[in-house]
Structure 1
Amino acid sequence: MNSDAVKYKSQLYAELARVGKGLSSDKRLEILDLLTQAPKTVEHIAKETGISVANTSRHLQILKDSRLVKMTRDGNHIIYNLSAPQITSLVRLLITVGENELSEMRAIQVTADNQKNVKTISLEQVRQTYRQSYILDIRPRDEYAAGHIKTATNIPLEELTDNLDKLPKQQQIIVYCRGRLCPNANIASQILNENGYNAFSLNYSYYDWQDDITE
């Protein structure tokens, strides 16, 4: 093969491998999935992922070098966001491939869905019932503000127990959070059902809802 052609393709694959480096860590994948919901500060990302601010900063630097995230400054805070809308599609596609090809992922999800007092509902089932249901978004307020199901009420998970009296006991409640890798919808539905509500966990995100359901 022509040496210039070899050099050309080698350089391009080397650049593309930078994206692969960004994706080659479970924590960096978690950070990317988190940023599909809304822009975040380093401190917020560290809190949500359960890793130190220092380690979060190192992961973010690798993601920045991979051109997967970008940063802006807001006063004393540095805000991180996905560098392009297509990265949301990339993260969602990766999750879909994992669920389809990795039986271990599905086994973990099935175990979580079969916990006591957890009831789940599919997007297909939701199409038939959501207009008569109470939709509960349990994400943090910044993520709700960035985009949410039109009729959804926002009560962040950590505030749910203190606000149970605001929820209807005579109406089906559909709970959603960040999507298929987030356990919080199951946790919230479990809390509600243990307290006499009729709650179903929708293990899909607002963005899945947008793709699947026309309001």
Structure 2
Amino acid sequence: MDERRLKTALYEQVARIGKALASPKRLELLEVLAQSEQTVDALAQQLGMDIKLTSAHLKALREARLVEGRREGKFMVYRLTGADVAVLGVQLRAVAEAHLLEFQRAFAQLVATPEQLAPLDRKALMAQARRGEVVVIDVRPAHEYDTAHLPHARSIPLDELRQRLAALPKDREIVAYCRGPFCLMSDEAVALLRAEGFQARKMLDGVSEWQAAGLALAA
């Protein structure tokens, strides 16, 4: 194989990754799988797709070696093939945010109340959480928290939050996070907490953003 053909072959292999990512639903699948491994049924339910279409998207991701599956009884369980796949999703979003006005406009609508966002200094926020000056809560499902979570965060899934309000202090700020900046579970949590008289803000980060920043997670 001459040099030109070799270079073309290499670019073709890289293009396999781009082709696999050329779908909004596949990007969302990767975001969900970055939290924890999931069954096809659970993924289909969360993304509002039927099982057949979900399986087709997972097949495309599997062929690009971005996910892998295993059979567990009658269910197929999928996971990312590495933490670098989750980081790739964060990097793609960062490029879109830097260069696409359409992304910026849509994201501004999603984050319509910037005063409810926690500061972006990750290490400072975690230092505050370690000292007990703020309370960081992870409102994702418990199995996602068990897989990996931000240091010093408490697991209070969104569907349990109302029943567990008494466990949270009203004299300190509550910072909620979920699966990243596109996730709305933390918005719902902040709205509920504020309605009940708590000081609460949302953190845009999730575990993938933490990994992309080179910071340690807890498990």
With normalisation by structure 2, the TM-score equals: 0.85
Residue identity opposite 2:117 in structure 1 = T
- Structure 2 distance, partners of 1:100, 1:47, is 32
Residue 76 of structure 1 and its aligned partner are, at CA, apart by 2.5
- CA gap of 1:76–1:113, structure 2 versus 1, over 3 A, is same
- Structure 1 distance, partners of 2:71, 2:46, is 20
Q: Which stretch shifts more, 21-30 or 131-140?
A: 131-140
Residue 202 of structure 1 and its aligned partner are, at CA, apart by 0.4
Q: What whole-Å deviation, never above 9, does each CA across 1:2-50 have from its counterpart, x for those lacking one?
A: x844433333322322211110000000111111111111111112212
Q: Which stretch shifts more, 83-92 or 58-67?
A: 83-92
Match of 1:198 in 2: 199
Alignment of 1:134-173 (within 5 A): 134-173=135-174
- What SS class does the counterpart of residue 179 from structure 1 fall into? coil
Match of 2:175 in 1: 174
Contact 1:38 1:81 in 2 (8 A): yes
Q: Which stretch shifts more, 120-129 or 34-43?
A: 120-129
Task: Give unmatched runs, 5+ long, in structure 2.
Answer: none
- Structure 1 distance, partners of 2:46, 2:93, is 19
Q: Which stretch shifts more, 5-14 or 140-149?
A: 5-14
- Structure 1 distance, partners of 2:170, 2:214, is 27
- CA gap of 1:200–1:69, structure 2 versus 1, over 3 A, is same
- What SS class does the counterpart of residue 123 from structure 1 fall into? coil
- What SS class does the counterpart of residue 20 from structure 2 fall into? helix
- CA gap of 1:70–1:128, structure 2 versus 1, over 3 A, is closer
Residue 61 of structure 1 and its aligned partner are, at CA, apart by 0.5
Residue identity opposite 1:72 in structure 2 = R
Contact 2:139 2:177 in 1 (8 A): yes
The root-mean-square deviation of aligned C-alpha atoms, in Å, is 2.4
- Structure 1 distance, partners of 2:209, 2:62, is 26
Match of 1:25 in 2: 23
| Equivalent residue for 1:38, pick from 23, 36, 46 | 36
Residue 67 of structure 1 and its aligned partner are, at CA, apart by 1.4
- Structure 1 distance, partners of 2:140, 2:70, is 23
Match of 2:190 in 1: 189
Contact 1:40 1:81 in 2 (8 A): yes
Q: What whole-Å deviation, never above 9, does each CA across 1:162-186 have from its counterpart, x for those lacking one?
A: 3333322222101011112212212
Q: Which stretch shifts more, 44-53 or 202-211?
A: 202-211
- Structure 2 distance, partners of 1:99, 1:13, is 25
Residue identity opposite 1:143 in structure 2 = E
Q: What whole-Å deviation, never above 9, does each CA across 1:180-212 have from its counterpart, x for those lacking one?
A: 221221221112112211111001113434647
- Structure 2 distance, partners of 1:198, 1:164, is 12
- What SS class does the counterpart of residue 136 from structure 1 fall into? strand
2:124 paired with 1:123: no
Residue identity opposite 1:71 in structure 2 = G
Task: Give unmatched runs, 5+ long, in structure 1.
Answer: none
- Structure 1 distance, partners of 2:38, 2:216, is 28
Match of 1:64 in 2: 62
- CA gap of 1:63–1:113, structure 2 versus 1, over 3 A, is same
Residue 58 of structure 1 and its aligned partner are, at CA, apart by 0.7
- CA gap of 1:55–1:137, structure 2 versus 1, over 3 A, is same
